[in-house]
Amino acid sequence: MSDKRIATNDTGNPAPSLEHSQSVGPNGPLLFQDHYLIQKMAHFNRERVPERVVHAKGGGAYGVLEITEDVSQFTKAGLFQKGARTESLVRFSTVAGEMGAADSMRDPRGFAMKFYTDEGNYDLVGNNTPVFFVRDPQKFSDFIHSQKRRADTHLHDNNMQWDFWTLSPESAHQVTILMSDRGTPMSWRHMHGFGSHTFLWYNAGGERFWVKYHFKTDQGIRNFTDAEAQEMRSTDPDVHIRDLHQAIDRGEYPSWTVNVQVMPFADAAGYRFNPFDLTKVWPHSDYPEITIGKWTLNRNPENYFAEIEQASFEPSAFVPGIGPSPDKMLQGRLFSYPDTHRHRIGANYLQLPVNRPKSRVDTYNFDGPMTYENPTDPVYAPNSAGGPVAADPSTWWGESYEVAGEIVRHAYDLHRDDDDFSQPRALWERVMTDTDREHLVTNIVGHASAPEVTSDTKKRVVEYWRNVHKDLGDRVAKGLGVNGTS
């Protein structure tokens, strides 16, 4: 008997042929009864799920988070207790590019992590930058539209990008980092990851803290110059997927040192920056980074579509000991991430192996398309039939705190040092090297010199950068050949 594997259709019936459709004689028309062919074509027509509306192009791997320091005074979350080892998944991505876009585009990089903890999934949906372009989710879809394609020509349009940025001064911090060489990382292994948002931590005694996560690359920061990034777009558009996959295959497991900044709960009100504003960092001199562990990637996915394309990350997946802060962008994302998964993959996306918690799930949500695991009776609560009951109230106690105020539509209250430009100015003045500054200027000038960028926009570009720093604005003005003072 042959030991060859016999192909089947999806109902498990042996395949009649992998080459020939059923026809009336060798030269005749095909038969509608060829169910094997019909299933093959019909399934192929449905192979794609909608691509992500942002972060469409990406890749990922599995790894492990190991906690080496005791931070139980700040959080009771099991995954952050000293000695804990938690299996995790990461997906890196660009933001604006479509599924086939080049990895070396100038763009922030998504840095989405899923931790399969004993208390359910904990997801951190970060970026390779500590800040973001906007601070209110009202502006998020407008921002993304300005980075994608025009409605009329379906072309990318640098004028649209600069138009939005210069009319949204809160973007200056993120655009400074984006236009620096950190906007074109050499690989995903050579960039940092940031939780970006501020989160709530609370300990077993219910004491609360605000926290920011920093994943610092152990490989060192390495970036492409603008010219190298452009060249790479044609020589290897998939350079970042390839680099990560090959490094892990070689046994060169990339790692990141996991740091946090911790702010006592009561400090937030009087802190010199609004600590929930996603366009700001907490300067290290105020809140130093504390190392808590190591995160290492050590396993490639075996099936890209099943494990990466269908991977779903949602910042709303919290474990006891961690909760949301009033960061408005985070609040918006708590809804929009799971909502996009329900649309893109389906209501039961959390039943897929890559998304399913490794811990027990005992829920009253049931049915819907592609249900694989359904709860048994009773299907309602409260019930007298022994169904699952809510956790002990102490489990989530720490996440409750008092808020009060009028219902408004208003910008954040300004704290003492809040403005849109002083933090990018600190980056330009104190942190960047001369080479970093030179590349920042040439990258901005190259980008804003695209033929579609109007002279009015160019003047606003110059003013935008003069607000960050006069020297920077003057150098951009010189490069663009405009004065800028309109």
Residue of 207, 436, 452, 474 interacting with ligand NDP (CB under 6 A): 436
Q: Site mask, ligand NDP, residues 120-159, x = CB under 6 A? A: ----------x-----------------------------
Say how far apart CA 102 and CA 305 lie, in whole Å: 18
Beta bridge partners of 394: none
Q: How far is the CB of 319 from ligand NDP (least distance, A)?
A: 24
Q: CA dist 338 to 125, 311, 345, Å?
A: 12, 12, 10
The site map against ligand NDP for 412-431 (x = CB under 6 A) is -----------xx-xx---x
Q: Closest CB to ligand NDP among 47 and 434?
A: 434
Q: Is 374 a catalytic residue?
A: no
Least distance from ligand NDP to the Cβ atom of residue 336, Å? 25
Contact 250, 466 (CB under 8 A): no
Nearest residue (CB) to ligand NDP, 218 versus 399:
218
The one catalytic residue among 55, 197, 439, 447? 55
Question: Measured in whole angstroms, how far is the alpha carbon of residue 385 from the centre of its chain?
Answer: 42
Neighbours of 253 (CB within 10 A): 16
Q: Give me 278's structure tokens.
A: 């996603």
CB of 113 to ligand NDP, least distance (A): 18
Interaction pattern, residues 162-181, with ligand NDP; x per rule: CB under 6 A? ---------------x--x-
Is the Cβ–Cβ distance between 182 and 434 less than 8 Å?
no
Burial of 333 (0-12, 13-18, 19+ CB in 10 A): buried
Q: Which residues pair with 14 in a beta bridge?
A: 8
Q: Choosing from 9, 35, 45, 127, which is the catalytic residue?
A: 127
CA atoms of 96 and 102, how far apart (whole Å): 11
d(CA 184, CA 450): 18
Residue 127 bears catalytic tag = yes
Considering only residues 236 through 295, tell me which ones interact with ligand NDP, judged by CB under 6 A.
281-285
Minimum CB separation of residue 214 from ligand NDP in Å reads 7
Q: How far is the CB of 423 from ligand NDP (least distance, A)?
A: 4
Handedness of CA 123, 64, 195, 236 (dihedral sign): negative
Identify whether the C-beta of residue 190 lies closer than 8 Å to the C-beta of residue 486.
Answer: no
Nearer to ligand NDP, 95 or 281 (CB): 281
Residue 400 CB, shortest distance to ligand NDP, in Å, is 28
Nearer to ligand NDP (CB atom), residue 284 or residue 343: 284
What is the helix (H) or strand (E) element at residue 217, kind and residue range? strand 208-217
Residues involved in catalysis: 55, 127
Positions touching ligand NDP (CB under 6 A) are 130, 177, 180, 182, 192, 216, 221, 281-285, 423-424, 426-427, 431-432, 436
